Every structure is written in structure tokens, then in C-alpha cells.
């Protein structure tokens, strides 16, 4: 996957521990019967962190979401730790909030912090009671093993149907001070825009106030995770959480300006990279799809149009079959909830193998089917839409729809 | 499939020719290279018909939709014939409207009527120029072969990825006069609510004014076709057209009252039956899914909730795999755009083999997985939702999501 390059920003290793002062770990506590797979993860910063989060907009909210929201409200956007499990979403259970709070207490006890300084998250099956004993029994071991080297263990602990772990990090400068920002993500199916997104934890050693951190997160999530669709379904447990501990020593960012913009670019690069990783690892995905919509009257129209195309099951099937069916793209633009003149639209399909114009002024074009099939046989496809109705531009990310998506989800709980 | 029974209404044979005075036919004109498959169909009534139609809400509208709308406006909702082809949607082509109008002229010439009295429709691939020659060459043969016996030939002519032809008809009484109402439908993928629906032609010998026909169609489409989702995609060419020629001899229905209600029930039964046939024959479908949402504060909320569940790819996959995953249902209710108290919801899954409660008060229940799997192994599944928030009720129909949906759509144009 090609990484977007911006001068002054360097991609580095380290994931959620790339930033100074963060340690993490992960283990198998037994929620996952496969002992080789981690199911419990922790992140910790001794320095208190400004903490911002966005959550799913699903009305069925996981109990951990409810507890995390309460905690961050109580502390005014401060936290020191994250505790997270996979395999069980702790959602739609009568004792869900009690269990989520118990997870905070267990983590806090080990780290000798206030349980309200803990962010809690769960992902997995909905509607099954979360057994707390495996977590109680393994929390000490997990806390004892925390280290800056163990970022991969934490990244593995949040994987569900993910086939690869997802980490990204950059280093950059604010006030001449070197800062780092990195994160980890999980999420493969049940990922859809309009909603928070997926489970993501991002840490930085830059000093940023809780308010400016929340503002930056809101701006960047709109053009990254919220432009990602795997299947149009929206999870009950999704959360993106950013923690800033200030260990880099820059003057705390408390208002807009150059420092804020520099920080936001770092956040954008990491979230963009993780968005593309999430799309490419969508459940059953064979191809990464990128829909670039240009020439829109405004940003919201560009986003709506790009997302409508990326979400369409028929577009996704056509791309799976390397079928340059421009009708599927136009149809999805036609039902997008945006004010578009469909008679002005041009569509081009592209990959590393070249590009082919399939539609001009809303009308299908003749093209070499052989050439088109060769272009679409690649595993990263760009659907380039020119609306010819303005200057705004947006990109949405997704994947093709394949047999494996159905295989994975026909019997998800087993 | 169980037919809904209403006293005084009898299911009969005859499809689009069940009503007196209607003839139809179908042939292969060569748009479909498989000569065994009809691709051109015609319906005709010598008596002029009150004609009502609803269309797709997609902004990319097929040229035939545009021409039919113009024709019905010009005649004030009167028509005598339908000409329809499959294999090519005549959409997103620069010469589309010209070709659609030419189809009206060709039919009118044979039938010696005004071309504006012709309803024209096309379904198939988008963005490829419609060759008009095959239609020109076969129109005389098609018109010569029109008969009340040939309703199946017409029903076959509109099939695309449909695996069975879809016809339904009832007889009933108005003012002591026997009336008949019947229709044919096509549509398998790219069927979604919120929009018109799929290609449907319904005829009746009841006398109904154009205005009351449009009113009845609007009311019934809302609770039948518009509650149907196969994949969430919405075609550019969908249309439901009802023609009433008055041959039954009842006093023309020009206002609400008993006669209007009797007529509407007939329309409901035929459209309900075709809706279920469309759902069961959804692309790649292995099972008919029916989501019955009760206890809603109002009808719109009930419809929105039922449709959100029936549309969810994850619910569809779970049903395909006979997995009683209540989390998928609750999740889909949670992101439905309706004001729901998710903590009051009960969910039951049912089939001919029995039923199992999987959720009460928004919390997952324990149940026998073996029993649930046996119930869900059936090919008609009911997802019964009790919102416990009022007295309104609605049903939505769909199908499971299977490998075959992807197989069909990965290379639709070949």
C-alpha cells in the first residue's frame, strides 16, 4: 500500500507505543479458546493524558462505551490507561455496565490509578454475558508485562476477524521538539461511515489540551474513518480514542494555529493509513477500493457521493469480478442523497496497470473489455469520479464483496 | 409460500391477462443471444385504460422512465399498451430517449393507437447503446401473437436474473360485478425500498379513475414493494404500472368508499404475493426472510425498523448460516433512523419448525443452539420484533445473502 508522503513527517515503527511514555501489552486470558490468540490488551501512560474519543452512533451502545463516556466526563477528558478485550462485546447484557466498570477497577488496581482514568472497550459477539473471571485471573500478569516493546501484543488482542494487525505511527516536529503519534486499530466487517467507526487507540507524546484533541479528532475522523465502508453495517461498540501525554515537551496546544495544524497532519496520516489498512482487510476482501470524487459543489456532497459508490454491493461485486460495469457506479451515484446533475458525470477506473474511461457526461462509453479486465484484475482499484459541478473533493475507502465475506459471517459466533 | 386469505377474494390464474380485455405476448428478438429466452414483451387492451405508475427515485433515470412519464402526463393517465424489453436498460445512453420513443412508435403502429398511449420499459445492462433493429424486426410478429393465453410469454420477457417468472391474480366483487386484477413482476437484485421498486405490470378490468388508481397504488406500494430489500441497491429503471380498463362493468371508482376499499384489497393481495415472490427469488437467495415489527409508536417507525433489519448484510449472512445471532438484529435496529428505546425490544426467530426467543428487554437470552439451528434451517424465516412502544405494525421482506449473489453480480454483464 502506498503511504501518503508529507514533508517533515516520517513513518516509524512502534504502533501505540511509538510515542514516548506509553507502554502496552496483551495476553490470552481464555475468552478466546485459541490460546495462541490474545484477547485482552492494555495501554498505560504514567503521565496523565488529555483524552478525546468519538463513539458509534448506533442506539444500541455497548456497555463499555457507556462507561468510557462517563469516565471521560467525570475526569474532564483525562485518562491514563486503556483496558480492552475481544471475543465478547459485552453488549445487550443486563449486567454489562457493571462488568465494564469492573474491568476499569481491575486495571486501576494493578496500575494504582483512579478507575475513572481508565478507558474500557470490548469487541466480539453481542448478547452473551461477559465472563469476568478470565479477566480477573489474568490482569496482574497483563499489567506486569507492560512495555514499550509489546505494542504488537496489544494490537493482536483487539483483532476479531482481522487477518492482519493494524498499526501506524509517524514522527514530526512541533516547536522544534520531536513528537510521535501512533496507533492500533481493529475492524474488518460491520464498518460503516456515518458512525464513529471501528476500535482504534491512538497515542501521542505531543502536549495537546483535551478540547483541541477532541476538535482535531472530529475533523480528521470525518475525512478518514467516516469515509470507510466495508458492509454498511454499524457496530454497537466502535470507538476511536486519542491520548496525549505531553512527554515530547512542546508547549501545550490550546488553540488553532501552526502547532495545531502540524499535529492534525500527523493525526491525519496515521488515521488515513489505518483507514486504508481496515478497508484492505475488510471481511473477505480481495481488493482495496478507493473512490475519489472530484468536482463536487462542496465537501459534504463529495463525501456523500464517494461513500454511496463505495457502499454499493453491486459495485463491490463488479469489482470482485473485474467487471468494468459503469452502470453500477452511476446507479449508486443516482441514489446518493446529494444534489447531483447526473448528466455531467465522468467515470474512470484505474489501477497500477493503467486506467480506462467508462463514462462521460453520464453516458456509457465503449472501451476495450480486455484492457479494462486487466486493469481491474489488480488488488488496488481506484474509481475516479468527476462530477464537473464544483471544486470540492473527497475519497472513500472500501473493499470488494466476495464469497469469503459470507463465509465469515454466516456463522460468526462459532 | 403461504398466500394471505381474505374472504371474497380468490386467487386465480392468468397473470397480466387475468382481467377481461387484456392480451399479451412475448418473443426473443435477439437482444438475448439465448434464443430460448424471451426479451421483448407486450401488453394490450383495446379499451383505453386509466393508468397509474410509480417510478424509481434514483436520479439516474432510464430513458424509458422519462418517456413513460411524459406519455402519461400528455394523456392524463391513459394508456392502452405496454412495450418492454430485457437485457438492455437503455439507460445512460445519449440516444436513450429517442430509442424509447421509437419503441412506443413501433408498438403503436402495430396496434393502430397513439404512441403516447404506450407505456415503455427496459431492464438490463446500463450504459450500452440499445440496438433498435431487433425490436423493429420482431414487433409485427409480437403484435400478431397477442392473446389472453400468452401471459406467461410476457412474464418471461421481463426476466433478467430471475430464476422463476412471477405472476399473481385475484378475482373479487365490486357492486356485485366480478372483477379481476393480476400482474407480472421481475426483479431479483438491485431491489430496495425507499424507492419505487422493481418492474411490475398490473392490469384490472375494474373501472377506476386514473386519480384513484394512483392513490391506491401509492398506498399499497408503501406497505408491499417499498418494504422489500434484496441488496440495498436501487435500480435506475424500476416502475410499477397499473392499468384499469373497466371491462368488468362496475360503476367507475372516483372516490373513497367501500368500492375503493374492495379494489385496494385486491391490489394489496396481488402486490403482497409478488413482493414475497421477489424476495424469495432475490439474487442467490436461499431463504425468504420476513421481518415483522410490532409494538411501534407509528407505522413509519415500524417500517423503518423492519427495513433496517431486512437490509443488514450481517443479518442476511447469519440467516444464510442458520445462526441465531440476536446481536445482528439488535445492531440493525440500533442504527435504524427511528426513535426507538432499545432497552424494551424483544426478538423471536420463527419458522415452520417452531420459534425461539433470542432477546428480551434488549438483552440476549440463553437458548438451545441446536433447536435454534433446526428452526433456522428452514427456507422461510420470520424475524419477529416486539418494540413494546406502541401499537403499529409493519412487515418487510428480503432474503439471505449467499455465495450465489456474488457469483451472479461479479460478472453481470457477460
| Residue range A56-101, pLDDT digits in tens | 878 888 999 999 999 999 999 999 999 999 999 999 899 999 999 9
Residue B362 to residue B211: CA distance in whole angstroms: 45
B310 vs B60 pLDDT, higher one? B310
Å from A351 to nearest chain B CA?
Answer: 18
Residue A27: DSSP 8-state: E
Task: For residue B395, give the DSSP letter.
Answer: E
Average pLDDT score over residue span B68-84 = 97
- Cβ within 8 Å, pair B190-A413: no
Nearest alpha-carbon partner for B191 in B241, B239, B236, B233: B233
Q: Is the pLDDT of residue B83 over 60?
A: yes
Interface test with A, best of B122, B233, B404 (most A CBs within 10 A): B233
pLDDT for B231 equals 60
How many Cβ atoms sit within 10 Å of the Cβ of residue A351?
18
Secondary structure of residue B183 in the 3-state scheme: strand
Residue A407 class from Cβ within 10 Å (0-12 exposed, 13-18 middle, 19+ buried)? middle
Q: Which residues contact B144 (CB under 8 A, 6 or more apart)?
A: none
DSSP one-letter code for B16: G
If pLDDT is split at 50, 70 and 90, which confidence band does B345 have? very high
- In this prediction, residue B56 carries a pLDDT of 82
Rounded to an integer, the average pLDDT of B59-71 is 93
Strands A363-364 and A392-399: unpaired
A57 contacts on B by Cβ (under 8 Å): 335
The whole-number pLDDT of residue B190 equals 52
What is the reported pLDDT for A370? 92
pLDDT for residue B193: 39
Q: Which residue of A has its CA nearest to B93?
A: A363
Q: Does A103 touch chain B (CB under 8 A)?
A: no
| Choice among B51, B123, B197, B301 that is catalytic | B197
H or E stretch at B242: strand B239-244
Closest CA to B91 of A43, A326, A319: A326
Q: Catalytic: which of A91, A197, A203, A304?
A: A197
State whether A406 and B409 contact (CB < 8 Å).
no
Nearest Cβ partner for B411 among A323, A330, A363: A323
Provide the 3-class DSSP secondary structure of residue B411: coil
pLDDT for residue B337 is more than 80: yes
Q: How far is A171 from chain B (nearest CA, A)?
A: 37
* Closest partner CB to A333 (pick from B60, B361, B412): B60
For residues A116-128, one letter each, b for 16 or more C-beta atoms within 10 angstroms of the residue's C-beta and e for the rest, the string is bbbbbbbbbbbbb
| Chain-chain contact of B406 with A409 (C-beta, under 8 angstroms) | no
Q: Phi first, then psi: what are they for A69, rounded to 5°?
A: -60, -45
Q: Is the dihedral of CA A214, A219, A223, A227 positive or negative?
A: positive
The alpha-carbon gap from A90 to the nearest alpha carbon of chain B, in Å, equals 10
Which residues of chain A neighbour B359 with C-beta distances below 8 Å? Answer: 92, 127
CB A344 within 8 A of CB A388: yes
Mean pLDDT, residues B286-297: 93
Distance in angstroms (rounded) separating the CA atoms of residues B82 and B104 = 8
Question: Which chain A residues contact residue B410 at CB under 8 A?
Answer: 317-318, 320-321, 323
Q: What is the pLDDT of residue A195?
A: 30
Q: Are strands B380-386 and B288-296 parallel, antiparallel or unpaired?
A: parallel
How is residue A78 written as a grid cell?
Answer: 483525562
Per-residue pLDDT at A413: 55
Predicted local distance difference test score (pLDDT) of residue A329: 92
- Partner-chain contact B233 A312, CB within 8 Å: yes
Phi first, then psi: what are they for B393, rounded to 5°? -145, 145
Which residue of A lies nearest to B62 if distances are taken between CA atoms?
Answer: A331
Query: Three cell numbers at B88?
Result: 438492455
Contact between A363 and B125 using a beta-carbon 8 Å cutoff: no
How far, in Å, CA of A380 to CA of B56, rounded? Answer: 33
Which residues on B lie below 8 Å from A60 (Cβ)? 330-331, 333-334, 342, 362
Backbone angles phi, psi at B83, to 5 degrees: -120, 130
Does the beta-carbon distance from A126 to B326 stay under 8 Å?
A: yes
Q: Does residue A21 or residue B161 have the better pLDDT?
A: A21
**In the prediction, which pLDDT does A194 show?**
36
N-term to C-term CA, chain A:
32
User: Is B343 at the interface with chain A, CB within 8 A?
Assistant: no
Q: Does the pLDDT of residue B189 top 80, yes or no?
A: no
Of A233, A236, A330, the CB nearest to B60: A330
Q: Give the per-residue pLDDT at A57.
A: 78
Which residues in chain B touch residue A399, judged by CB atoms under 8 angstroms apart?
none
The answer to whether A244 and A204 have CB atoms below 8 angstroms apart is yes
Interface test with B, best of A123, A194, A327 (most B CBs within 10 A): A327
Which residues does chain B have within 8 Å of residue A330's beta carbon, measured at their own beta carbons?
A: 60, 92, 126-127, 236
Query: Which of B327, B349, B412 is the best mutation test for A, with the most CBs of A within 10 A?
Result: B327
Query: Coil, strand, or helix at residue A65?
Result: helix
Interface of A with B in 56-95 (CB under 8 A): 57-61, 89, 91-94
A197 is catalytic: yes
A373 has a chain B CB within 8 A of its CB? no
pLDDT band at B412, cuts 50/70/90?
low
Q: What angle do CA A172, A173, A174 make, to 5 degrees?
A: 135
For chain B, what is the mean pLDDT? 91
In the sheet where B346-351 sits, what is the strand order?
Answer: B228-229, B392-399, B288-296, B380-386, B346-351, B354-360, B363-364
Quote the minimal CA–CA distance from B248 to chain A in Å. 40
Inter-chain touch B331–A127, beta carbons under 8 Å: no
Residues in chain A, pLDDT under 50: 192-197, 414
- End-to-end, the C-alpha distance of chain B in Å comes to 32
Q: Distance (Å, rounded) from C-alpha B382 to C-alpha A38? A: 37
Nearest CA in chain B to A235: B331
Across the range B274-284, mean pLDDT stands at 84
- CB atoms inside a 10 Å sphere around CB A35: 10
pLDDT at B321: 86
Paired residues of B33 in beta bridges: none
pLDDT value of residue B196? 31
Contact status of B337 with chain A (Cβ, < 8 Å): no
CB-based burial, A290-325: b 16+ in 10 Å, e otherwise: bbbbbbbbeeebbbbbbbbbbbbbbbbbbbbbbbbb
Q: B373 — contact with chain A (CB < 8 Å)? A: no
Contacts of A235 in chain B (CB under 8 A): 331
- Tell whether B249 lies on the interface with A, counting CB pairs under 8 A: no
Q: Does A410 touch chain B (CB under 8 A)?
A: yes
What does the alpha-carbon distance between residue B64 and residue B84 come to, in Å, rounded to a whole number?
Answer: 9
pTM, two decimal places: 0.80
> Is the Cβ of A155 closer than 8 Å to some Cβ of chain B?
no
Three-state DSSP state, A2: coil
Least confident of A34-43, B170-179, B304-313: B304-313
Q: Which pLDDT belongs to residue A231?
A: 60
Asked whether A400 and A319 are in contact (CB, 8 A), the reply is yes
Can you count the helices (H) and strands (E) in chain B? 11, 16
**CA gyration radius, chain B:** 22
- Per-residue model confidence (pLDDT) at position B234: 67
Q: Which residue of B has its CA nearest to A401?
A: B406
Q: Establish if A412 touches chain B: CB-CB under 8 angstroms.
A: yes
Radius of gyration of chain A, Cα coordinates, nearest whole angstrom: 22
Amino acid at each position: 500500500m502506498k503511504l501518503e508522503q508529507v514533508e517533515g513527517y516520517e513513518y516509524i515503527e512502534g504502533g501505540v507505543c511509538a510515542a514516548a511514555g506509553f507502554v502496552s501489552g496483551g495476553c490470552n486470558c481464555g475468552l478466546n479458546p485459541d490460546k495462541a490468540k490474545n484477547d485482552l490488551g492494555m495501554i498505560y501512560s504514567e503521565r496523565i493524558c488529555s483524552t478525546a474519543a468519538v463513539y458509534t452512533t448506533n442506539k444500541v451502545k455497548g456497555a463499555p462505551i457507556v462507561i468510557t463516556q462517563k469516565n471521560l466526563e467525570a475526569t474532564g477528558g483525562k485518562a491514563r490507561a486503556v483496558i480492552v478485550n475481544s471475543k465478547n462485546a459485552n453488549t445487550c447484557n443486563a449486567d454489562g455496565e457493571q462488568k465494564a466498570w469492573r474491568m476499569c477497577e481491575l486495571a486501576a488496581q494493578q496500575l494504582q490509578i483512579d478507575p475513572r482514568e481508565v478507558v474500557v472497550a470490548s469487541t466480539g459477539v453481542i448478547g452473551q454475558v461477559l465472563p469476568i473471571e478470565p479477566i480477573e485471573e489474568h490482569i496482574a500478569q497483563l499489567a506486569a508485562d507492560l512495555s514499550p516493546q509489546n505494542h504488537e501484543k496489544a494490537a493482536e488482542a483487539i483483532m476479531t476477524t482481522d487477518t492482519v494487525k493494524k498499526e501506524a505511527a509517524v514522527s514530526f516536529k512541533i516547536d522544534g521538539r520531536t513528537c510521535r503519534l501512533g496507533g492500533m486499530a481493529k475492524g474488518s466487517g460491520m464498518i460503516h461511515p456515518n458512525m464513529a467507526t471501528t476500535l482504534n487507540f491512538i497515542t501521542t507524546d505531543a502536549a495537546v489540551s483535551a478540547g483541541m484533541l477532541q476538535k482535531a479528532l472530529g475533523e480528521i475522523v470525518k475525512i478518514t474513518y467516516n469515509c470507510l465502508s466495508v458492509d454498511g453495517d454499524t457496530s454497537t461498540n466502535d470507538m476511536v480514542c486519542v491520548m496525549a501525554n505531553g512527554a515530547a515537551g512542546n508547549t501545550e496546544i490550546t488553540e488553532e494555529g501552526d502547532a495545531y495544524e502540524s499535529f492534525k497532519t500527523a493525526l491525519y496520516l496515521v488515521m488515513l493509513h489505518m483507514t486504508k489498512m481496515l478497508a484492505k482487510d475488510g471481511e473477505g476482501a480481495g481488493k482495496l477500493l478507493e473512490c475519489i470524487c472530484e468536482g463536487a459543489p462542496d465537501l459534504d456532497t463529495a463525501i456523500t457521493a464517494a461513500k454511496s459508490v463505495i457502499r454499493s454491493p453491486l459495485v463491490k461485486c463488479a469489482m470482485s469480478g473485474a467487471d468494468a460495469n459503469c452502470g453500477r457506479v452511476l446507479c449508486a451515484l443516482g441514489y446518493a442523497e446529494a444534489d447531483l446533475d447526473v448528466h455531467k458525470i465522468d467515470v474512470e477506473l484505474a489501477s497500477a496497470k493503467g486506467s480506462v474511461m467508462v463514462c462521460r457526461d453520464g453516458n456509457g462509453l465503449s472501451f476495450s473489455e480486455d484492457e479494462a479486465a486487466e486493469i481491474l484484475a489488480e488488488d488496488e482499484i481506484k474509481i475516479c469520479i468527476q462530477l464537473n459541478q464544483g471544486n470540492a473533493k473527497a475519497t472513500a475507502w472500501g473493499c470488494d464483496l466476495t464469497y469469503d465475506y459470507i463465509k465469515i459471517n454466516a456463522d460468526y459466533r462459532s
